[in-house]
Amino acid sequence: MIILNDHELEALLAEDVPYGDLTTASLGITDQRARITFATRERPLVVSCTEEAVRLCGLYGLEIDGFVKSGTLVPPKSVFLEARGEAGHIHRIWKSVQNLLDYAGGISTYTREAVLLARSINPDIVVATTRKTTPFTKKIAIKAVEAGGGVAHRLGLSESILIFDYHRVFFPSEEAFAEALNKTRKANPEKKIVMEAGDIAEALKFARLGIDILQLEKFPLTKLSDAVQILRADYPHITLIATGGISTKNIAEYASTGVDMIVTSSPYNAQSADIKVRIEPL
């Protein structure tokens, strides 16, 4: 599981509270004892980053009375995190924690819906997300995707080999590319080679090169179904991925084509959760 470190959590807080809480200090209530609770509203929520929320509370001396782990589906109108301590500290962490839980919870809940829709058609299919995260939110977003039952397609350029047309254009001939591909395979014997194809002709050409995984980009549904049948017949060992324009609105249709994995960016654009916060004196 992805974990945000204390430096990253402090950075979240510094955006909201760069020089202290002027309101709470001016009112003279900083030292009063208080309780803060976070709860769902009318809809269920797959919570995410509650561990980070707990640690943010702990950085400011709050005591945790209970919390629900990331990946848990919480029913409507249910408290899933409760802490107590000085009112000054509670007001300091309040909005940073809420923003974190809202953002992550929206992604994790959407991802769970996408996974359930896809697996209602194909129980073994994998739903993954792309590298197209909002800048500076990647660890939060990926943790939320995992909490919802999805996986990261690529955590970054350093750990996987995915060849695009933008790589192949640097080779003067198909033979030159094939030679480079062979060298790549020998240099990385523990890695699987992925190639993106824009149509069935490209997919078959890459399959003949011995590719391990084919990423079928923006295939219309009917053509995707045909491509899967053709590739399964002659290259059953190749893993097939569908990507491009897939969301909860059409993910079940894409799952019905028989691909092994669906890759999408749509969870990153999910509406944030609407979490209810309550602060009261003790």
Q: What is the pLDDT of residues 36-88, one digit of tens each?
A: 999 999 999 999 999 999 999 999 999 999 999 999 999 999 999 999 999 99
**Assigned CATH class of 6-113+271-281:** alpha beta
Spans of all domains in the chain: 6-113+271-281, 120-267
Classify residue 63 by burial, with Cβ atoms within 10 Å: 0-12, 13-18, 19+.
Answer: exposed
Contact yes or no for 183/165 (Cβ under 8 A): no
**Can you give the pTM of this predicted structure?**
0.95
pLDDT score recorded for residue 242: 98
Amino acid at 7: H
Token code pair at residue 97: 């924690």
Fold held by 120-267: TIM Barrel (3.20.20)
Task: Give the orientation angle of helix 138-147 with respect to helix 87-121, to 10 degrees.
Answer: 50
Q: What is the pLDDT of residues 168-226, one digit of tens each?
A: 999 999 999 999 999 999 999 999 999 999 999 999 999 999 999 999 999 999 999 99
Q: What is the pLDDT of residues 101-140, one digit of tens each?
A: 999 999 999 999 999 999 999 999 999 999 999 999 999 9
Q: What is the pLDDT of residues 66-77, one digit of tens each?
A: 999 999 999 999
